[in-house]
């Protein structure tokens, strides 16, 4: 579903992403981890077609993000870290607006919006103005708008950052439910996210991949079995070498 080959991005003399390659298949939840400035968000912006790579290539469901950008993007649901929402709209109105904006079949709008409201567990706030919602509900509304066109690939940037434990639980539950049918990439610096929803982890530091494997294999590298210990060891070692 996602194929990344030797992806690089530099901004003048600064190399944000250096020769990154990986693949993610259907039904897989990949956690893209790393300290601030590791290149996670830049990688995700290239995957979604928001910025072009300096070199290298990526495909979404067989479509090039360079030569077939619109086709590739049609398979993606994207939730950026600070996803824009229209605060003066209520939740249902906003989702109907996004549905129309994507040019989806008019006759299926009501049933699709109902389906998404239920899937993201936001039926109880569908008539509320978005500005009145808690941060947790706003994150779920952001996720709902990304799902409205039933994409094959979900790319989520810091989906639970800033949420309280109950809100994190609800968002993670939605992600787990979606993982049965979709390819999901989650960018995060919250290590507990790996244990909670991911079946694979990639750690980046200084724009490069320094670990790619299962959460269990990552834990196995630590004498304490703690993710934060091995994460710190891997990323600090990479930073020392660069």
Q: Which residues contact 10 (CB under 8 A, 6 or more apart)?
A: 16, 54
What pLDDT does residue 162 have? 79
Ordered domains of the chain (ranges, CATH) = 2-75+153-241 (3.40.50.300), 87-150 (no CATH)
Q: Of 23-27, 131-135, 161-165, where does mean pLDDT reach its minimum?
A: 161-165
What pLDDT does residue 167 have? 85
pLDDT digits (tens, 9 = 90+) for 196-206: 899 999 999 99
pLDDT > 70? residue 100: yes
Which of 65, 60, 32, 68 is CA-nearest to residue 49?
A: 65
pLDDT > 50? residue 20: yes
C-alpha to C-alpha distance for 193 and 196, rounded to whole angstroms: 5
In the chain, what are the helix, strand and coil shares in percent, each to the nearest 5? 40, 25, 35
C-alpha to C-alpha distance for 177 and 88, rounded to whole angstroms: 30
What backbone phi and psi angles, to 5 degrees, belong to 76? -110, 140
Relative orientation angle of helices 109-119 and 135-147, to the nearest 10 degrees: 140
């Amino acid at each position: 579903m996602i194929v990344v080959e030797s992806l690089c991005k530099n901004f003048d003399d600064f190399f944000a992403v250096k020769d990154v390659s990986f693949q993610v298949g259907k039904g897989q939840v990949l956690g893209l981890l790393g300290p601030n400035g590791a290149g996670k968000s830049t990688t995700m912006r290239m995957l979604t077609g928001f910025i072009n790579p300096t070199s290298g290539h990526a495909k979404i469901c067989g479509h090039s993000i360079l030569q077939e950008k619109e086709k590739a993007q049609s398979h993606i649901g994207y939730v950026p870290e600070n996803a824009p929402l229209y605060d003066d709209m209520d939740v249902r109105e906003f989702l109907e607006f996004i549905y129309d904006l994507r040019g989806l079949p008019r006759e299926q709008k009501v049933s699709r919006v109902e389906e998404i409201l239920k899937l993201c567990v936001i039926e109880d706030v569908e008539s509320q103005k978005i500005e009145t919602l808690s941060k947790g509900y706003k994150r779920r509304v952001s996720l709902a708008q990304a799902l409205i066109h039933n994409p094959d690939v979900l790319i989520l940037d810091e989906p639970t950052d800033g949420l309280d434990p109950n809100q994190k639980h609800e968002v993670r539950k939605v992600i787990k439910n979606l993982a049965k049918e979709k390819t999901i990439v989650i960018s995060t610096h919250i290590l507990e996210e790996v244990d909670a929803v991911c079946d694979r982890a990639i750690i980046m530091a200084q724009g490069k991949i320094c670990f790619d494997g299962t959460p269990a294999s990552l834990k196995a590298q630590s004498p304490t079995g703690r993710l934060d210990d091995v994460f710190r060891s891997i990323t600090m070692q990479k930073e020392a070498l660069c």
